[in-house]
Amino acid sequence: MDPQVLVIFGASGDLAQRKLIPALYHLYKGNFLPEQFAVLGVSRTGYSDDDFRKEVFWENTYIDGGDKDEAFADMLFYQAIDTLSGEDYKKVRQRLEKLDENRKTAGNYIFYLSVPPSLYPKIPAFLAAEGLNNRKKGWKRLVIEKPFGYDRESALKLNKELQQYFLEDQIYRIDHYLGKETVQNLLVARFANGIFEPLWNRNYIHHIEITAAENIGVGKRGGYYDHSGALRDMVQNHLLQVVAHVAMEPPTTADAVSIRNEKLKLFQSLRPIGESEVEKYVIRGQYIGASIKGERVPGYREEEEVDENSTTETYVALKFFIDNWRWADVPFYIRTGKRLPTKATEIVVYFKSPPHHLFRNELDLLNMNNQLIIRVQPDEGMLLKFGMKVPGAGFKVKNVSMDFHYTDLTEADVPEAYQRLIIDVMKGDATLYARGDSVEAAWQFVDPILNAWKNQNNIKLYGYPAGTWGPEVANKLIDGDNVSWRNPCSNLTDSSDYRLL
């Protein structure tokens, strides 16, 4: 791997301490970091190098205990600046030049913007003014966290502003969902297995369902969340990216350009939900106070920094279609919400039943569809459900399961999402990062829903008690008498022996 410096703007903030520095330390312990490597923290806080090392490493409770390594601490450096002052970026340039000289990092820089979105266009402009976007001496890469805009118009504006100073192939839009091992493995499961790929189309699949459930509320993020909501916070980015992995066409090769081209085609194939159709295809809800295991849980409007009359959705369920040859008329369903009974993210592929029900009288029609369940988190793995004959007289059919858990595949330390994504940007592999045109296409699908909620006061916002599976009306989204949402438990296997709520 090339020698390089990772420059973290907002290095004294929460994300750096909770995710970035711990991820880097785990990569260091696993011998994944380049031999010539340094981290330069940049923020307003007036730390020295030693102060920074103490705060984000030695006293960081998010890093596992035990003997922490002095050699890693020696890779950490810090530069205090006013991030809104262009003049101060000279200090960043000078410090990087000194690191190049002392650490032999060859002018290769990653600029990680762990800052409020309002700074996304400003910092690249200031870096460019100091020549820190110039690739004549070493490569330069820019990493930004979501949100990538607030709607399509703001996403277009942000992309245009970023691309004034950095080329698209230098920009890495990080989505930690794409760093999850199970999401990545979707492509392998689909395209490397002859038992799945021939069936992965409208001829054999009845519908596909994606659930991303959280059992916590908004906590201390009420101020942010009240201006975002579940559709912006989860669907537009994380879950549409998962849809792309589930439904995209096979790429010509397994490289970043081919895979991201197919994702864009998929987003462009999403059938638009017009503003007049939103109430038919989209259900929104907001959790209300309830008692869970004898303890009262506050409703969303009671949370810190949330408007007492807020109409922000904490739950959204939607039905949509993909208008292409593979998926014509196959319904897709997404739901996500806070304060649901458990934390779980999974994809359920429902296969069509045989055309003639030979054992109709012996079959549980509510569970007649074969299902492939792909668990993204927790208890990552896959579960295949199919019917078998119960031993004894007659042809009584019962669903049985075959399951695979990722923990069975390896005893090695599997990189956590941020670890994997940081390794990829260090290598210059953009496969798991969102491309600008795909972000815009995803917003184009979501915008009419947001506009309808904003402009049509008659669209209902359903309350649901904390600890339940959301508004009951969401069950009506799913077509057919014999299918309903699969409510996951915290374990992949959902027998009575394993159900944990």
Per-residue pLDDT of the chain (501 residues; tens, 9 = 90+): 899 999 999 998 888 888 899 899 988 888 889 999 999 999 999 889 999 998 888 888 888 766 788 888 899 999 999 999 999 999 999 999 999 999 999 999 999 999 988 899 999 999 999 999 988 889 999 999 888 888 999 999 999 999 999 999 999 998 877 777 677 778 888 888 888 888 999 999 999 999 999 998 888 888 888 888 999 989 988 899 899 999 999 988 878 888 899 999 999 999 999 999 999 999 999 999 888 888 898 989 988 888 889 999 999 999 999 999 999 999 999 999 999 998 888 999 988 877 656 555 555 554 567 888 888 877 777 888 766 666 666 556 666 667 777 666 666 555 677 888 898 999 998 888 888 899 999 999 999 999 999 999 889 999 999 989 989 899 888 876 566 788 887 665 554 333 332
295: tokens are 């303890």
190: tokens are 């689909």
Query: In 3D, which of 444, 468, 479 has the Cα closest to residue 280?
Result: 479
**What one-letter code names the amino acid at 152?**
R
Predicted local confidence at residue 481, as pLDDT: 56
Q: Do the Cβ atoms of 335 and 462 come closer than 8 Å?
A: no
Q: How far apart (Å, rounded) are the C-alpha atoms in residues 468 and 474?
A: 12
Collapsing DSSP states into helix, strand and coil, what is residue 399?
strand
How buried is residue 479: exposed, middle or buried, by Cβ count under 10 Å (0-12/13-18/19+)? exposed
- Give the pairing of strands 140-145 and 171-174: parallel
Q: How far apart (Å, rounded) are the C-alpha atoms in residues 499 and 496?
A: 5
Three-state SS sequence of 452-473 = HHHHCCCCCCEEEECCCCCCHH
80: tokens are 């205090």
Return phi, psi of residue 407, to 5°. Answer: -65, -20
**Is 238 a catalytic site residue?**
yes
CA torsion sign for 112, 116, 117, 120 is negative
Predicted local confidence at residue 411, as pLDDT: 60
Q: How far apart (Å, rounded) are the C-alpha atoms in residues 321 and 49?
A: 53
267: tokens are 């987003």
Q: How far apart (Å, rounded) are the C-alpha atoms in residues 4 and 139?
A: 9
How buried is residue 122: exposed, middle or buried, by Cβ count under 10 Å (0-12/13-18/19+)? middle
Residues comprising the chain, all counted? 501
Predicted local confidence at residue 366, as pLDDT: 47
Predicted local confidence at residue 66, as pLDDT: 66
CA torsion sign for 366, 370, 374, 379 is positive
Q: Do the Cβ atoms of 364 and 399 come closer than 8 Å?
A: yes
**What one-letter code names the amino acid at 334?**
I
Catalytic residue among 26, 207, 238, 245: 238
SS3 content of the chain, % helix, strand, coil (to 5): 35, 20, 40
Predicted local confidence at residue 498, as pLDDT: 33
DSSP letters, 2-37, are --EEEEEETTTSHHIIIIIHHHHHHHHHTT-S-SSE
Predicted local confidence at residue 193, as pLDDT: 83
Collapsing DSSP states into helix, strand and coil, what is residue 374?
strand
Q: How far apart (Å, rounded) are the C-alpha atoms in residues 337 and 105?
A: 44
Q: Do the Cβ atoms of 424 and 433 come closer than 8 Å?
A: yes
Q: How far apart (Å, rounded) are the C-alpha atoms in residues 261 and 257?
A: 6
Q: How far apart (Å, rounded) are the C-alpha atoms in residues 98 and 198?
A: 57
Place of tokens 């503003």: 275
Q: How far apart (Å, rounded) are the C-alpha atoms in residues 97 and 287?
A: 52
Q: How far apart (Å, rounded) are the C-alpha atoms in residues 356 and 287?
A: 43
Residues 6+ apart with CB under 8 A from 226: 218, 305, 306, 307, 310, 312
HSE value, Cβ hemisphere, 13 Å, CA-based, for 13: 14
Query: In 3D, which of 404, 498, 479 has the Cα closest to residue 193?
Result: 404
DSSP letters, 237-272, are IIIHHHHHHHHPPPPSSSSHHHHHHHHHHHHHTBPP
